[in-house]
Amino acid sequence: MFKKIKIITHNGTFHVDDIFAVATLKIFLRQKNRKIFLKPKIEIIRTRDLSLIRRGDYVVDFGGEYNPKKLRFDHHQKGGAGKRENGVVYSAFGLVWKEFGRKIYNSKNVVEEIDKRIVQSVDAMDNGVDLLNLKNPELAPYLFYDVVATYNFLSQKNGDKPMENFLKMVSWAEDILLREIERTIIQEQQKREILKIYNKAEDKRLIIFDKSYGDIAILEVLGEYPEPLFVIKPDTDRGNGWNMKTIKKNINTFEARVDLPLKWAGKRDEELQKVTGVSDAVFCHNKRFIIVSKSKEGILKLANLALESER
């Protein structure tokens, strides 16, 4: 018989870090047993009774101990559980990810990218770091924390069962992590291809792709070089045609290195065709970061016009 594996965390209000820590462990345990075609039986115990810790195979965000050899992953004890080289302090999620990320997917780049994109922000906010620094406090992004807060609130006010809501959140976190891992694997391959295309480009202000790549992968590669202003690729969002997009100044802003010409802004079809002289121009966004044409020939003409306007 397959042994039941017990994961222990605290009860009461659940948080993003304990949800994602448990989700990471569940993914790891499934991966670990996949080769022997066994599905592990996992029991999740939520408690604040320290005497029950000895029953746990894994203990996360609870217990006052960080010891990966003993599979104990808390960060609330005096002195915490350490921090990264960049100063971001670990929460339970980060501690579990540090230990098991490479065992889930054996790629240093993928594991570090997930840590940078997801884990570190969860760790930082769980340890009281304000990452938002909002210019307008009344306009804030909707975060993981808001989703979890809603489930906690309804557990308390509607009489929902907290354990059921916690398990729903864990399943949600598992799905997010698995999809983010898959996305990151694909993006790592895309970034290698994008770099090759950049290196071969004659005019590095304009990078032309014959297949669609993710905008984040494009920016992470091309953003490291000063020359690129625009990228051309097939317009998969609309099913056919081609588009040209601006390169943003960095991944966290909408501000472009160079905007498309002002006279194109918000125009479409005949009006855009008249102002550009390109017979199959379709649409230019009012914010001047994307323009669409029905053909590659058309988008190349638009690109030349945009580059000429920058001289």
pLDDT for res 36: 55
pLDDT value for 311: 60
Percent pLDDT > 90 in the chain is 79
Q: Kindly report the CA angle at 29 between 24 and 32, in degrees rounded to 5? A: 125
What are the C-alpha distances in Å from 140 to residues 109, 134, 135, 151, 303? 31, 7, 9, 19, 36
What is the C-alpha radius of gyration for the chain, rounded to an integer number of angstroms? 24
Query: Environment class of residue 221 by beta-carbon count within 10 Å: exposed (0-12), middle (13-18) or buried (19+)?
Result: buried
Residue 135: predicted pLDDT: 75
pTM exceeds 0.95: no
The pLDDT, as a whole number, for residue 10 is 95
pLDDT value, residue 250: 87
The β-bridge relationship of strands 290-293 and 242-246 is antiparallel
Strand partners, 244: 232, 291
Other CB atoms closer than 10 Å to residue 85's CB: what's the count? 5
CA distance 302 to 276: 7
- Residue ranges of the chain with per-residue pLDDT less than 50: none
CA distance 152 to 175: 20
CA distance 289 to 294: 17
